[in-house]
Amino acid sequence: MTLSRRDFAKRSAATGAGVVLAGSVGVLASAPGALATGDGAGAAEGAAGAEAASARAAALGYGPLVKDPKGLLALPRGFSYRVITRTGVTKLESGEYTPSNHDGTATFEGGRGATLLVNNHELGGARAKWPHPVPLAEGLVYDPAAAGGCTVVEVSKHGDHVTEWVGIAGTSTNCAGGRTPWGTWLTCEETEDKAGKNGMAKDHGYVFEVDPQDRRANRSPRPLKALGRYAHEAVVVDPDRGRLYLTEDASGPNGLFYRWTPPAGFRHGRGRLRTLSDTAGALQAFKCFDSGGRFVDDLSRATATGTVYGVDWVTVPDRDARTTSVRKQFKDGEVTRARKLEGMWWGDGGVYVVCSFAREESPVRHDGQVWFYSPRRRTLTLKVLLGVNRHPERDGAFDGPDNITVSPYGGLVIAEDGEGIQHLFGALDDGRTYPLARNELNNGTPQKPEYSEFTGVTFSPDGRTLFANIQEPGIMLAITGPWRRQGR
């Protein structure tokens, strides 16, 4: 059932849902503890207001980050970290070094209290350009010319033993992905390379399923072509309705947010997506409109948290993009676009969706949005908006959210992929943010420091450990400490 513009207008009027059009000036400041203020009023209302704001900020998060004497990871006092895997240092059980460029990650319960992690390796193009590609493990290779894939990491109950093996190889640019309710990982290729381009022997731009529990299930990898061929970023599964939601990180034109609806009678489960035909189900792109029924061409036009849009879905003409990229198959006015549609996570009955930033290719600039899509209401609500960070080389501000997870302690934990200094930070449903970690590994020089992005942020099944990666050179970290409830 399609949500009509008239129905959405009536609902908005009845519930007071706020819809903000282009031209509004309220943005969420990107400083830790900042509060969204709609129009800028109330940012400071005398000494009493300032004291109240300070008290709220002080109660938020875990305190300031403490510099790491080892030069790797700054954490709040009382927290600590362990290095789980490190490219060029740790080795797979087969003897090769851990592949580089760690990206999207999810955790699963293993045997005897162990934690299993499936770890993407974002390696694009020919294998020869990468010192540590994903090894071409027998039976687990899709395209022997491609460098990317996933590894499975097993961490023992007490963290004193780590084993790593290949989950899938011969895929390209494995960026994010998503955990399924049936206990597998969907890894996404963020590329549109066809056979013959960039050294590839097969077409790429697909989603693949990886089972961390059953190595035999990963043999003879098969792309899930029903989910489309484009620059995939992340995917989540609606556990109630069975639909999959997918993001596209692309520009020229900007990418799209997709929904895949399974065919009638299909039941999800381990390996069942692989049994579907290449055109099974319906792949659609989203189209947003405001309470007045006006089409919204780009999500960057929302300039205040609390903005709510209604959502329709438009069928993709050629999901395998044989001649034209999927996002280019739509004319202006047919779909809504957004720059850097990246990480997603299912929680609170819907999908949290990240737009990492917007620049000249978007109508309005920003340094990060987090949206919430409600399948039941068919609405998209802006939860977090980071204003343009004018000084990314200075600590204390956040920009470029990317991978994301819902925290068992309330709110979200977000991996930063912006300019300058890189953080893990928390965000609450009222828009407040706070720091969790800072990358102190300088890949540049003292004069021109460079800090790699954080990726793969995810909690262990018991919620006691936060795992995250530093993408370059490729380091998986386990963070523990005095976690406590944040916000409401």
pTM above 0.85, yes or no: yes
Instruction: From residue 193, give the alpha-carbon distance in Å to each of 25, 173, 285, 286.
Output: 40, 10, 21, 24
pLDDT tier at 20 (50, 70, 90 boundaries)?
A: very low
What does the pLDDT read at residue 35?
Answer: 30
pLDDT of residue 22: 25
Give the tens place of pLDDT for each residue, 283-309: 999 999 998 999 999 999 999 999 999
Measured distance CA(177)–CA(175) in Å, rounded? 7
Average pLDDT over residues 34-61: 45
- So what's the pLDDT on residue 487? 75
Q: Is the pLDDT of residue 27 over 50?
A: no
Q: 43-57, 230-244, 469-483: which range is least confident on average?
A: 43-57
Residue 204: CB atoms within 10 Å: 29
DSSP string, 469-483: EETTTTEEEEEES--
Give the pLDDT confidence score for residue 59 in this predicted structure. 73
**What average pLDDT does the structure give for the chain?**
90
Per-residue model confidence (pLDDT) at position 7: 55
Give the pLDDT score at 40: 34
Domains in the chain: boundaries = 93-223
What's residue 488's pLDDT?
57
58: pLDDT confidence band, cut at 50, 70 and 90?
low
* pLDDT-based confidence at residue 429 (cuts at 50, 70, 90): confident
Confidence of residue 32 (pLDDT cuts 50, 70, 90): very low
Average pLDDT value for residue range 22-51: 34
Mean per-residue pLDDT, 55-71: 84
Q: Report d(CA 85, CA 37) in Å as an integer.
A: 42
pLDDT at 5: 52
Residue 320 has pLDDT above 90, yes or no: yes
> For position 46, what pLDDT does the model report?
42
Residue 353: which of 334, 336, 328 has the closest Cα? 336
Of residues 42 and 431, the one with the higher pLDDT is 431
E-state strands within 14-126: 65-66, 73-76, 80-86, 102-109, 115-121
Q: Are 368 and 299 in contact (CB under 8 A)?
A: no
Q: What are phi and psi of 75, to 5 degrees?
A: -135, 165
